[in-house]
Amino acid sequence: MFQGVIKGEPAERTTMWTALGFPPCAITIPLWVAGGEKLPEITTKTSERDNAPLCDKVVALKHKVFPIKRGNGNKYMYFSLLYNETGDGIIQKLQPFEKAIFEETYKKITEWNATVWSAEKVINYYKYLNDKVVTIYYELFGL
């Protein structure tokens, strides 16, 4: 999803809220043109794989949600892995972290709007997000 800018602001401040892979298992992170060609490592393909590492983690969770591989198995969803009464579904686990990322990002945008946006600031924030998201998927799901 794209979040535009106020009239008169540079277009490179447009935020692309990005969820790679299967949205119910994905955590949404911001990306900006203002960061230049440098993106968080987890969002770009590697020399070994054509998928971004984050996409691989998310798709691994998707395969747990759709565990049946034969026949019409792709139509059968293990919904309680996503959302359940005990509160430990994938969506329920990711939601507080995603909310924190939104809040942190809006603080950064406000801070950068009050000073100057720079590729360096965006790239440093990407490094922070990269480490945070890797930790979230590792700690919550062992991926």
Q: In sequence order, which residues have a C-beta less than 8 Å from that of residue 40 and are 6 or more positions away?
A: 29, 31, 126, 127, 129, 130, 133
pLDDT of residue 116: 84
Indicate the pLDDT class of residue 47, thresholds 50, 70 and 90.
Answer: confident
Question: Tens digit of pLDDT for each residue in 57-77?
Answer: 999 999 999 999 888 878 889
Give CA–CA dist 42/46, Å, rounded.
9
Give CA–CA dist 23/20, Å, rounded.
7
Question: Tens digit of pLDDT for each residue in 81-128?
Answer: 999 999 999 999 999 999 999 999 999 999 999 888 899 999 999 999
What pTM was estimated for this model as a whole? Answer: 0.89
Sheet holding 29-32, edge to edge: 2-3, 15-18, 29-32
